[in-house]
Amino acid sequence: MPDDAAPLLEVTDLSIRFGKAPTNLVDGVSLTLERGETLCIVGESGCGKSLTALALMGLLPMPPARLMSGRAMFEGRDLLHLPIAELKDIRGDRMAMIFQEPMTSLNPAIKVGEQIAEAVRRHRGASHEEARARALEMLMRVRIPAPEKRLDEYPHQMSGGMRQRAMIAMALANDPALLIADEPTTALDVTVQAQVLDLMRNLQAESNAALIMITHDLGVVAEMADKVAVMYAGRIVEAGPVKAIFDDPQHPYTIGLMSSMPDLGPRGGRLVTIPGVVPPADAMPEGCRFASRCPFAGPDCAEAPPLSDFGGGHRVACWRAPLEQAAEPLQTLGGAR
């Protein structure tokens, strides 16, 4: 039996690269997650958020991907070094994943109710009737209107928001302890997004499942997260409790992301941006990977800064943090590069 004092999920030093690429696309990522907790991973596209999630779920084809290092302890087992059969038993049962595009996990040719029932039968050995009853219950729990009727519908007969709910119903059918959601509301209208976020919050409170939610929307983070990991170019550059990240951001990338977002108040001039783009894998800067875009960068940034603890579980990987201490000598460094 797994140790009850241990965190539900503990990822240590996860590094992934593709084929003969010179750099890791996920580089030294460590995370912990307690039961019932929500961790949001935020960052621009291409920062390795999805790769991290897929690796944890055992859904990353290896090869071409290569696991360079790492452990991911989940209920006493290392997800990264588990035989396929054992992974398949855990997936869809103890842990489940939901995607931005529901058709990634829904089969277009099978009725929604049957798909959910099948997930229940496979892992629970339930009878046909029990599984169907469970499917109906799940459709009710995700508040799909007329659930009896929807059981016998195909995914394409549903709206985008409804399909997203059906996928959530399937993911939660076996009461997983861990749910990983990769941009689950990015393709939805704001109104439907608000519904789905409310729903996920409620279901999580009921089941005490832990949630890793991947998003690039800081608004969604502020609403959902207990804690946050900010990823840039494959690395976690800042992590901590959600309040610390929003009210006391330390890393120049986090601050740049926040200032790039238009404020909801009356307009206040030009947006303060992050220059340039995320470097492609074959042009990753040595040392701090944010250096090519960072207005605080100096010669010392050619060496990678460690993820240091700033108290209360707030960790930051930047030589200049806290910035106000660094602001003075910075003048002589002359900004980026």
The partner in contact with residue 288, picked from ligand SF4, ligand ADP, other proteins, none with C-beta cut-offs of 5 to 8 angstroms by kind, is ligand SF4
* 215: contact with Mg ion by CB under 5 A: no
Nearest to 32 by CA among 265, 285, 210: 210
Q: How far is the CB of 272 from Mg ion (least distance, A)?
A: 25
The DSSP code for 145 is: S
* Among positions 227, 297, 314, 315, the unique one binding ligand SF4 when judged by CB under 6 A: 297
Show the CA angle centred on residue 1, arms to residues 135 and 118, nearest 5°. Answer: 20
d(CA 276, CA 64) in angstroms, rounded, equals 29
Pick 203 or 318: Cβ nearer ligand SF4:
318
3-state secondary structure of 40: strand
Would you give the binding string for other proteins spanning residues 17-56, x where CB under 8 A is met?
---------------------------xx-----------
In the region spanning residues 148 to 207, those forming contacts with ligand ADP, defined by CB under 6 A, are: none
The partner in contact with residue 261, picked from other proteins, ligand ADP, Mg ion, none with C-beta cut-offs of 5 to 8 angstroms by kind, is other proteins
Which token pair is 179?
Answer: 């749910």
Nearest to 15 by CA among 28, 3, 6, 1: 28
Q: How far is the CB of 62 from other proteins (least distance, A)?
A: 25
* 50: contact with ligand ADP by CB under 6 A: yes
* Among positions 178, 193, 305, 315, the unique one binding ligand SF4 when judged by CB under 6 A: 305
Cβ(29)–Cβ(52) below 8 Å: yes
The partner in contact with residue 324, picked from Mg ion, ligand SF4, other proteins, none with C-beta cut-offs of 5 to 8 angstroms by kind, is other proteins
The DSSP code for 321 is: -
Number of residues that bind ligand ADP (CB under 6 A): 12
Cβ(144)–Cβ(166) below 8 Å: yes
Which token pair is 19?
Answer: 């084929």
Which token pair is 22?
Answer: 């010179």
* Among positions 3, 4, 129, 247, the unique one binding other proteins when judged by CB under 8 A: 247
Would you give the binding string for ligand ADP spanning residues 6-45, x where CB under 6 A is met?
------------x------x-----------------x-x
Bridge partners (DSSP) listed for residue 179: 96, 211
Sheet holding 308-309, edge to edge: 95-98, 178-182, 210-215, 38-42, 227-232, 235-241, 315-316, 308-309
Which of these ranges, 17-25, 46-54, 220-228, 235-243, lies near Mg ion under the rule CB under 5 A?
46-54
DSSP sequence for 206-232? HHT-EEEEEES-HHHHHHH-SEEEEEE
The partner in contact with residue 318, picked from ligand ADP, ligand SF4, other proteins, none with C-beta cut-offs of 5 to 8 angstroms by kind, is ligand SF4
Which token pair is 66?
Answer: 């290569």
* 301: contact with ligand SF4 by CB under 6 A: yes
Q: How far is the CB of 131 from other proteins (least distance, A)?
A: 28
* 162: contact with other proteins by CB under 8 A: yes
**Contact residues for 261 (Cβ-Cβ < 8 A; gap 6+):** 218, 219, 271
Longest CA span, the chain: 73
* 281: contact with ligand ADP by CB under 6 A: yes
The partner in contact with residue 49, picked from other proteins, ligand ADP, ligand SF4, none with C-beta cut-offs of 5 to 8 angstroms by kind, is ligand ADP
Residues near ligand SF4, by CB under 6 A: 252, 288, 290-291, 294, 296-297, 301, 305, 318-320
